């Protein structure tokens, strides 16, 4: 099946969202798995609504998720002269015609049909017109849709589709200003680009009969179609931005990994047994559009987080270091990477969370949690901090691991007749300023002896000040 050619054809009137990325992924997998071609076309004929930023974001999203495409990007806005030639061809062959019906007439006819409870259709009054054209009217060009029979195609997901000819209009293929219409240019481009299979959302299902009319009028082969049901929210309604229908690059900003997002999207409409986790290699081996679901998929934010945590936990230090600058973090020392990364990965579901924990560990404590202060502001802890600083000063070599720290804390506790587990809360207060976070032994190993002493000294100041304020209050 190495003759398969698929495409993704977004419109740059808005940023690429996850529904679009899912469509691109399905097309990409089908082409790549069968040694075919995957092409990218930007459908930017709507010159008034096009956004350069949105166009750039589409390419950025492809680069971020690692989906390559064959050849150069095709821009429809650069092909108007080509489309005009095909309009002229259809006019010369009598398969299209100029329509001089004005908007006011069309609107009046539409309202009249609605008043009678009928579905409005253009009445084809200029289909075989041979008279003198009305003066001062710029005509549109309409294609001659079949008047009898049916338009038939077999959809890979929906099954056999039959549309009666009487349901079709002689739809416009070129507006009065010469700009070609969507269904016309899509059919031409798909044919000229050699597209064999079109996988797209089922919101395009109603466009397919019109495009088939264009294919057949121009003598082009009709591709195979797969119309994928839309992604719905958990309540079964159209996905909104609040539900997750945001731009692909927003997912990057929120700390999601591309491999997690692709894994999540491939499962929205496709499955292979009960398997949930798929690498790109596995997707390429297993994906087949004939196995796409015919029912809509439901967006599950918790599942995406679960997948992201899985892939984040699998990242090595080198991969994490390459990502950190995007989230405003510097690459830490090798010791920090070796000691803290494993612990932080276990506590993070997104890269944003990873960076927040990393910064909390490495940045000096700005303030101390007031509730925690009330628990640790004892004379015993003040004595413990002083003694622990003295003990750290006696150490001859730096910590190499969390295990080294655990041994030293145990030794210190034994010498002073303390329970080691009772020391971790005051140490957490001193080193992080609040509860939660990574293991204290790992944190001390990452910070080193000097930084640990500095943080304990600062914590000592907060305890002494709290004690002094408390004593003043008591004396009053």
The alpha-carbon radius of gyration of the chain (Å, integer) is 33
Q: What is the DSSP string of 433-469?
A: SSS-SS-HHHHHHHHHHHHHHHHHHHHHHHHHHHHHH
Domain 365-475 has CATH 1.10.10.10: no
State both tokens at 112. 């009249």
Q: Which of 138, 241, 359, 375 is catalytic?
A: 241
Q: Is 210 annotated as a binding residue?
A: no
Taking residues 35-56, report their average pLDDT: 87
Written as six digits, the tokens of 12 are: 């740059």
Q: What is the pLDDT of residue 471?
A: 55
Closest CA relative to residue 206, chosen from 173, 169, 239, 175: 169
pLDDT digits (tens, 9 = 90+) for 138-195: 999 999 999 999 999 999 999 999 999 989 999 999 999 999 999 999 999 999 999 9
What does the domain layout of the chain look like in residue ranges? 315-363, 365-475
Query: What mean pLDDT is predicted for residues 324-342?
Result: 96
User: Look-up: residue for tokens 């710029």?
Assistant: 138
Q: Phi then psi for 196, rounded to 5 degrees?
A: -100, -30
pTM (global) more than 0.85: yes
| 244 pLDDT above the threshold of 80 | no
pLDDT at 473 over 80: no
371 tagged catalytic: no
């Amino acid at each position: 099946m190495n003759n398969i050619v698929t495409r993704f054809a977004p419109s740059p009137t808005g940023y690429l969202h996850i529904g679009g990325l899912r469509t691109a992924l399905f097309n990409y997998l089908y082409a790549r798995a069968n040694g075919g071609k995957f092409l990218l076309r930007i459908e930017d004929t709507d010159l008034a609504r096009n956004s350069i930023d949105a166009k750039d974001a589409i390419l950025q999203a492809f680069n971020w998720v690692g989906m390559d495409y064959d050849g150069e990007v095709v821009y429809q806005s650069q092909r108007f002269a080509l489309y005009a030639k095909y309009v002229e061809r259809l006019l010369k062959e009598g398969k299209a015609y100029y329509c001089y019906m004005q908007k006011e007439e069309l609107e009046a006819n539409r309202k009249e049909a609605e008043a009678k409870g009928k579905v409005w259709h253009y009445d084809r009054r200029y289909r075989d017109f041979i008279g003198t054209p009305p003066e001062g009217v710029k005509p549109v060009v309409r294609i001659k849709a079949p008047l009898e029979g049916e338009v038939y195609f077999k959809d890979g997901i929906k099954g056999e589709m039959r549309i009666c000819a009487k349901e079709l209009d002689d739809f416009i293929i070129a507006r009065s200003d010469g700009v070609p219409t969507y269904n016309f240019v899509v059919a031409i481009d798909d044919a000229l680009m050699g597209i064999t299979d079109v996988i797209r959302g089922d919101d395009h299902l109603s466009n397919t009969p019109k495009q088939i009319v264009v294919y057949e009028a121009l003598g082009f082969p009709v591709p195979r179609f797969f119309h994928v049901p839309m992604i719905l929210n958990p309540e079964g309604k159209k996905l909104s931005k609040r539900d997750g229908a945001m731009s692909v690059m927003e997912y990057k900003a929120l700390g999601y990994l591309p491999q997690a997002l692709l894994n999540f999207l491939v499962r929205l409409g496709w499955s292979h047994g009960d398997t949930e986790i798929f690498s790109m290699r596995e997707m390429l081996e297993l994906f087949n559009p004939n196995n796409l679901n015919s029912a809509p998929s439901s967006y599950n934010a918790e599942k995406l987080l679960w997948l992201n945590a899985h892939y984040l936990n699998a990242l090595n230090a080198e991969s994490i270091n390459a990502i950190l600058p995007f989230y405003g973090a510097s690459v830490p020392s090798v010791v920090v990477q070796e000691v803290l990364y494993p612990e932080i990965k276990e506590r993070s579901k997104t890269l944003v969370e990873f960076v927040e924990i990393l910064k909390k560990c490495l940045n000096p404590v700005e303030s101390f949690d007031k509730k925690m202060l009330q628990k640790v502001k004892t004379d015993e802890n003040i004595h413990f901090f002083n003694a622990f600083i003295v003990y750290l000063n006696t150490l001859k070599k730096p910590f190499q691991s969390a295990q080294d720290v655990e041994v030293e804390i145990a030794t210190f506790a034994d010498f002073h007749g303390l329970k080691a587990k009772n020391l971790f809360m005051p140490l957490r207060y001193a080193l992080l300023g609040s509860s939660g976070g990574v293991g204290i032994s790992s944190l001390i190993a990452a910070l080193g002896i000097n930084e640990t002493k500095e943080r304990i000294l600062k914590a000592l100041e907060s305890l002494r000040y709290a004690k002094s304020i408390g004593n003043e209050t008591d004396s009053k």
